[in-house]
Structure 1
């Protein structure tokens, strides 16, 4: 812009008032300021501003154009609104929001894309190609295997001469039909795998384009599909038929010719590949001597009404309490989303899936429900059982505690989608693993795939292995004989620690994976109820009587 009194000289104006020559520069917000506007800018105490002389400012990186103001660059990224912003955006629409450098955000997102690309190229796609190669090998051997059957039939036919010609032809026809079915099954399997490989290669190509173009917009809108492709396609298992020749007896010609075993084509559930993060061993993180509260979230529920918390990310959690509304909140207690249950009943428990969707149980409707894109779908309706608490496993299965309508037996059931895969109810001696009655039984899957249940009715943490065999029961610290153990919420972390909320004693017990007590977390907790940990092992504690969620660093 040319100053009206100095037309031969280019003059830079203040970004806030846009009328006075600039003198200073805020390196945090990347805003140019005049002398009068410096005070107003520093009045925003939510950030640690760094105002320096304009001549001593740092060089400006190559920032992208602002999508809202074409003449500005997006130097910052608004974490709350999830958009890149320029200095004009900051001073107007995004004042007071949590901001970071847009290039740092781009670098973080690029790193995530790079990890997806590496996993697709080095692990997932090769497994698909390996499967396709295996099916192709089986198809190439198919002619030889079925040829042997045909030869056996011919040899038997020659021995029986003309009397068995009709039978030989019939058997050959049966073999051909089986062969056709076998080939059709393998062709179908090949088509499915090839289609997935095509999709994988397209995703890989798109990811490479995004990474090469360094387009912030494309990078920000990218949604990973790696979780979808970790579930490998079904694998066809076929049992080859066999021919059982008999000694020739003209009177029992058909019987002596021998029977042809039926063709058996079974489709097995495809294996689920572990993510690259799951394959690598987690770094050792020692326990802190003094755990500390790093954030407190006011959920807005009435006191005595907060029950469960489940992490969506490091700074966003889902909560539910004694009404029909489930809330997504950030660390500043800002309500991001609220969803009401389908039935209008209060949710019994909530869990976040590996895909970031929300699952909730409704004990009154005997249902387990999935919320995807704010739409509620009932995925499981129980008969004779009431759904209680729920957690999501590393394989993206659901584990659900439930008790019968008459309140007697209780059990843990594993679901893949809406299909029941496992039921855990009794020990090796046929005795119930869990207490009877309508008690809360929060649960969590540990890193070693143990299933950990906080059984309030039994005043114990009950841990079984992946196959449902009892490993141990924890009934509180052995030295504590005066106060009863009251386990409610339970969760596990990257170190295979088991953390359980001892509600009425206002503390958290930390155990190792074998049930050995390690220490307590106190942190002035008041009736800790629901628990969860995020990907960085920060603990979130839902306090029932205060209706607050506390974020605690303990590692």
Structure 2
């Protein structure tokens, strides 16, 4: 089936049109019906009403599809050897020939074998294309981001560890210096006291030695006088003795000195090196600025494969682009007019939106856009109806569910700072209702933005003309936490969730981003004016770890922020 050249294809092109079965000149093919058509039948075929649109292309423009169409293998019927299978039974999940229908496939759902084969191979090709263009690049980006993240954490770990060692050395040196200074001071005090003690006691010792010698001399004289019989000498010795006795008797020891005793002091509270504080990481840096020449980007929708939809507020034009951040430029595929109040996109690429003051949710299929390039307007179809409630915000969750906020029709007659009747719908991508939460003038004033992740729904609620808050609900519609009040004076123009459930809020008047953790605690604030980003209006997560910021400035008005979170 592969490697077929153009001669083989041309040789196997059918001789007649699939509709009139007369005309040999076949030039077109309907992608939905797989019909080969002539010029006349093409016009009739386009008018046939079906569930989907007829996308008719020139055969010359679709040689790859043509190759596939005319190289379907022939399947001989097992029951009727002379016939080939031309049908596929959806009930029995097997091929069948025309003779098999009356035998074993009566009242079964049958489909043309070529059509079934082409549909299934087309699904495989679409899956392959999605893997090659979206899933694999996304996995590569995630792997690269995680590799950068482990390098980032390793560097932070080593830095913290070296800081501990350095601080330990500093603490040891500081404590050693303190103890050394205390030792010097204590010894100085001991030295001073001991010097004073010596200066008090030593003179007294010297004096006592002199007195003792004088008395000893008197004792010798007494022994001599007592045996000599000389009265004069007796009187002299007697006088010296009396004087010495008076002096000795009158001498009182006057020595007062304190002893220095060192008292050890037990260690009370041991000194701490410090403590380890673990905190969430959220860092952002500007990596690219793009001049789109749009006057005001107020809405951004990021699709798979790096495709982005930008809404220009001035003329309600939607621009489908692909960004080249390395060159600070982009390629525009197409643009079309669409007046929306809010807009989002399903995983299939289908656009889903709400119009001002309308109660219906509308959609435009990606297939319609892809096969009608450079068309200025596309017809939309009703996807869901919320009448009488008026939708104010729409959002597609990471698991491809649709969340819609609605207000009562009389909302304009209620003061802005008073609650109104709000209903929140959660739908599947096919429009089936999963949940519906009703708030009867007891919580919300005017919900105008939605973001969600996991089982958490965050709603930006305008509670006055100059203030907004974030009301976060769980999967049951119960309030989990509220961030902000009238005192904050913050107007929230947009918000997005990161993969780690951090909420990034855009404060339009202050030109700041606030980052909240999953519990509503503020992680950080980024002033966009420091990055030369002015008049920001909208945000979108782009390629897993980037945030697009759309602005109303006339110069660089599409900015790409890279964020690291952990």
* TM bin (shorter chain): 0.3 to 0.5
Name the TM-score, length of structure 2 as normaliser. 0.44
Q: Which has the larger radius of gyration?
A: 2
**Would you tell me which structure has more helix in proportion to its own residues?**
2
